[in-house]
Structure 1
Amino acid sequence: MRINVLQHTPNEGPGAIRAWAEDHDHDMYIYHPAFFNKLPTIDETDMLVILGGPMSANDDIDWVKKERQLIHQAIAKNIPIYGACFGSQQIAKALGYRISASPVKEVGWAPVYTQTDVIAGLPKKMTALHWHGEMFEVPNQSQLLFSSDLMKNQGFVMNHRIIGLQFHFEPMQTDLREIVINDGDYACDNALNQTAGDIINHPVPKENKKIMYQLLDYIISK
């Protein structure tokens, strides 16, 4: 299977998604549309992963709009799609739903709670990395998958093929360091009251890699 990854900033890579692809002998191709204005075609896409970034799905930028066209095509062909943070917002926006400022700015480690048992075996409570100031409306045709203490709309699942999460399960320990050393200033004045130092010194929960695998296994299963 060819997994096409859309990476939007150098310090937010695929992390555990890469490990999952390698463990399953899938081929991963990473695109950087914000830097090279290049996207894969739908005919060369067996699975689409859309990662986070500092931009907004509301930005009037050519590649942001073209990315949503690719999402539309993937949905029409029932291709598995996984979106993290900006990626989840792009999916929701492509489906016609609103992206707006979050009621709170969440940056750091905080629990999320599973809201449906549609994906068997997920824990009821997990600790995830939050790094966002915008949020999506949950599409009507999907199910609310996760919520946090500060925000209801944290994740959705749709048609057994699409998952969008407002937060991050994919970073592993090295990825966490890369995110924080490059973008730690974003942690200032956030609702979780965590500094960049607090965030980088918090170990990535060992279960997060397993959860990431569960989510990806779900959207590719028959």
Structure 2
Amino acid sequence: MVRMEKGKIQPAKVEVKMKQNRKSNDLSAIECRYRFYAVIRSYYFGHLWDDGQRWLEAVEILSGLEEFTQNEDYLSGLFLLQAYDSSAVYEFNRLFVGPGKLVAPPYESAYLNSEGLLMQKETLEVREFYRSMGLEVQNKNCEPDDFIGFEAEFACYLLHQAAKFLAQKDLSNFNLHLTAYRNFFVNHLSKWLPAHCRDILANSQNDACRGMALVLAGFLDVEAKNQ
């Protein structure tokens, strides 16, 4: 599962109690976002296709993130995610893996590079952001650093660290990691993922894949308003 390393980093589940009224910097809000990115990471790495139970568990997690279920796109996406079947695997590959031209490439540079090329300065900027927090992608020349799975994993790491330091009342390191997450969201995730979601919705009729795109779009909309 782990694709990024500092030594070998595997973010653990942040054990906190969920609250009804969340502030963007309390433990329950961080836990909520961590859980979301963990599902997105698993989805794009293809870890949810092993059996139907993993998919159901992911949908259950997403359904429990009450801060986001008030968003219309997110709620619509949850409904479509119930329609998972084996055809979703083929559609996932068509959209994100290949062979053939990808209609919704899961790479930041595909959207932000003026020529839509991979492994350009946009990818290197993401790599430098990882390095600024002491991380790098394993086998970084095999998969671009700006692959959505890596970016979601990086968000998980930052949120996990922020939660850990907040629980320890280490506000300096808490602010360091939470600020890094917010900067990464504003300068990277929010810059390309909305267009990625639109491409999925424009090019796919598969309910499961469309559902995940709507859930992601809804999350991005809510999160952008929190920055």
TM-score (norm 1): 0.32
Q: Which has the higher helix share?
A: 2
- TM-score by structure 2 length? 0.31
- Larger proportion of strand: 1
State which structure, 1 or 2, has the greater radius of gyration over its C-alpha atoms.
2
Larger RCO, structure (CA 8 Å, separation 6 or more): 2
